[in-house]
């Protein structure tokens, strides 16, 4: 089982995945700035003004708890599921299937939030806000365009909760739906911001996704589908676990 520190160390500052996430965050107003760290200790140095050895030891211990390791594992499982999706012709996701996947990822955001103490605690963490921005840009704005998040979730989320339960287990699913509902207004705001920047998002992210050959009108679909294949949820979940452990708020 990979530790949070091991997962963070796998993504260096020049890793393609990290640069992709940074490019998305840079294009969305009020998204957190990307700051690299490669360990829980480095996260503590960045997010806390001063950390004494006792506090650092406590943070490292929290990063090894069941909650922290479960955050990482679910991020990894989301990435595995994405890599097994059919890209279809020229690397594009089917729109209906992508709508389902966006709903499932929104439910996953609710689950992540529930494991971090609720929606308000989740969005205090830079990694939590980064997850919202990534979802809005890559799961919704680029592949689907403008959407009313509440309507999308009302139509699709209950069915997608079964998919999420297969990843997280029924015993931890209870708080996911209420947390997702609490996040919905924030998700709508970020989707609206991302949709207003869709062309800029394509230009900014295209250099960091594998296999994109041109900037045709279908480029937003292609970028989103190929970005979905990269281990972004693993990276963001590792950062979420680290920031939760060090109390980065």
One pLDDT digit (tens) per residue for the chain, 249 residues? 899 999 999 999 999 999 999 999 999 999 999 999 999 999 999 988 778 889 999 999 999 999 999 999 999 999 999 988 766 544 556 788 899 999 999 999 999 999 999 999 999 999 999 999 999 999 999 999 999 999 999 999 888 888 899 888 877 888 999 999 999 999 999 999 999 999 999 999 988 987 665 555 468 888 888 898 999 999 999 999 999 999 865
Distance in angstroms (rounded) separating the CA atoms of residues 164 and 168: 6
Distance in angstroms (rounded) separating the CA atoms of residues 133 and 87: 23
Q: What is the pLDDT of residue 87?
A: 62
Cβ within 8 Å of residue 62, ≥6 positions away: 68, 244, 245, 246
Question: Dihedral, CA atoms, 144, 145, 146, 152, nearest 10 degrees?
Answer: 0
Distance in angstroms (rounded) separating the CA atoms of residues 241 and 193: 26
Q: What is the pLDDT of residue 89?
A: 45
């Amino acid at each position: 089982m990979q530790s949070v520190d091991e997962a963070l160390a796998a993504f260096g500052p020049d890793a393609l995945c990290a640069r992709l996430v940074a490019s998305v965050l840079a294009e969305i107003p009020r998204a957190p700035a990307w700051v690299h760290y490669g360990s829980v200790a480095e996260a503590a140095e960045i997010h806390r003004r001063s950390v004494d050895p006792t506090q650092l030891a406590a943070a490292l211990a929290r990063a090894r708890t069941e909650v922290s390791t479960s955050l990482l594992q679910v991020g990894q499982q989301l990435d595995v599921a994405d890599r097994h999706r059919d890209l279809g012709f020229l690397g594009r996701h089917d729109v209906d299937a992508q709508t389902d996947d966006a709903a499932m990822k929104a439910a996953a955001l609710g689950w992540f939030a529930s494991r971090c103490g609720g929606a308000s605690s989740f969005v205090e963490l830079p990694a939590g806000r980064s997850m919202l921005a990534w979802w809005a840009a890559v799961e919704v704005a680029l592949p689907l365009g403008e959407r009313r998040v509440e309507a999308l979730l009302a139509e699709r989320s209950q069915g997608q909760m079964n998919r999420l339960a297969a990843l997280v287990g029924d015993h931890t699913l209870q708080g996911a739906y209420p947390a997702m509902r609490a996040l919905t207004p924030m998700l709508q705001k970020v989707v609206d911001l991302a949709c207003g920047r869709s062309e800029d998002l394509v230009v900014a992210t295209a250099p960091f996704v594998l296999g994109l050959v041109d900037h045709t009108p279908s480029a937003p679909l292609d970028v989103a589908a190929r970005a979905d294949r990269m281990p972004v949820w693993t990276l963001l979940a590792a950062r979420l676990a680290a920031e939760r452990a060090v109390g980065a708020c």
